[in-house]
């Protein structure tokens, strides 16, 4: 059953702590994306990767980092530099990075500050 | 930067009434996609429009792309309780990234 798996579903971060959100896909998609969604708002792009070992900043990359060492994996680290990390984080993928295909989303991770 | 505005923010209708959400871009879009997000869920792709003036239908849902490719709309005829959720439009910018609108939250009274 192909899809995108995000873990954990809920995550709590202490002050000054870095946390990593996992995103794995078995769709054999080239491109992967990380979005942040705040209550009652749309999705804002954090980082995206169109191919393995390459990624670009989105609109709100400050305080976040990513890696793309494998095609199927695109983990997001929320660093201590991100002062307001409480949000719903969504990972998505598309077959290629040309923007002409539907985005497939994972179930998301809800991050809160302790 | 490029922006995609969506109105209204909320719409509360009686079951059986129609519903429309509108999307406007500050620049011409290559294409526009529509997504539905159920409460507590993730966005699910509904449709993509590419051509100027394009109209597509999915059962009770009608999607339009403006002639200038700067605006779009989603119309639902005779809403049902299963239509509840937030509807997002998303336009592709010149860097092949999707810019999402802020969404319209639809509530349906049974």
pLDDT 10s digits, A100-112: 889 999 999 999 9
Whether the pLDDT of residue B71 is over 60: the answer is: yes
pLDDT in tens, A6-55: 999 999 988 889 999 999 999 999 999 999 999 878 899 999 999 999 99
pLDDT value at residue B95: 76
Helix (H) / strand (E) containing A48: strand A43-51
Return the biggest CA–CA distance within chain A.
40
Across all residues in chain B, what is the average pLDDT?
94
Both tokens assigned to A56: 């670009």
Q: How confident is the model at residue A64 (pLDDT cuts 50, 70, 90)?
A: very high
Q: Is A90:A106 a contact under the CB 8 Å cutoff?
A: yes
Contact A103 B45 (CB under 8 A): yes
For residue B41, what pLDDT band results from cuts at 50, 70 and 90?
very high
**At B83, phi and psi to the nearest 5?**
-80, -5
At residue B74, does pLDDT exceed 70? yes
DSSP state of A70: B
- Tell which of A3, A99, A100 to mutate to test the B interface (max B CBs under 10 Å): A99
Residue A5, pLDDT above cutoff 60: yes
- Between chains, do B96 and A102 touch, taking CB under 8 Å as contact? no
Inter-chain CB pairs, A–B, below 8 Å: 54
Q: Which two three-digit tokens encode residue A110?
A: 């809800």
Report whether B88 contacts B106 (CB < 8 A): no
Rg (CA), chain A: 13
For the cut 70, the answer to whether the pLDDT of residue A1 exceeds it is no
Please, which pLDDT band fits residue B68 given cuts at 50, 70 and 90? very high
Q: How far is B15 from chain A (nearest CA, A)?
A: 23
Report d(CA B63, CA B43) in Å as an integer: 17
- What is the pLDDT confidence band of residue A75, given thresholds at 50, 70 and 90? very high
Separation in Å, CA of A79 to nearest CA in chain B: 24
Strand pairing report for A19-25 and B71-76? unpaired
- Which stretch of DSSP H or E encloses residue B13? strand B10-14
Q: Distance from A82 to chain B by nearest Cα, in Å?
A: 22
Average of per-residue pLDDT across A75-80: 95
């Amino acid at each position: 059953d192909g899809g995108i798996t995000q873990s954990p579903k809920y995550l709590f971060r202490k002050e000054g702590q870095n946390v990593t959100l996992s995103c794995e896909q078995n769709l054999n998609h080239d491109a992967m994306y990380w979005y942040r969604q705040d209550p009652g708002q749309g999705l804002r792009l954090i980082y995206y990767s169109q191919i393995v070992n390459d990624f670009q900043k989105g609109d709100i990359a400050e305080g976040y980092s990513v890696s793309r060492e494998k095609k199927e994996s695109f983990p997001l680290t929320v660093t201590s530099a991100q002062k307001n990390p409480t949000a719903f984080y969504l990972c998505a993928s598309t077959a290629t990075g040309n923007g002409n295909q539907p985005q497939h989303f994972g179930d998301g991770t809800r991050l809160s500050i302790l | 930067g490029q922006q995609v505005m969506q109105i209204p923010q909320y719409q509360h209708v009686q079951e059986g009434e129609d519903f429309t959400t509108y999307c406007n871009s500050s620049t011409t879009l290559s294409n526009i996609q529509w997504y539905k997000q159920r409460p507590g869920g993730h966005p699910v792709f509904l449709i993509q429009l590419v051509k100027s003036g394009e109209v597509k239908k999915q059962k009770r849902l009608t999607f339009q792309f403006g002639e200038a490719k700067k605006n779009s709309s989603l119309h639902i005829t005779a809403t049902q309780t299963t239509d509840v959720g937030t509807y997002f439009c998303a336009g592709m910018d010149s860097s092949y990234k999707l810019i999402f609108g802020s969404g319209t939250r639809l509530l349906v009274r049974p």
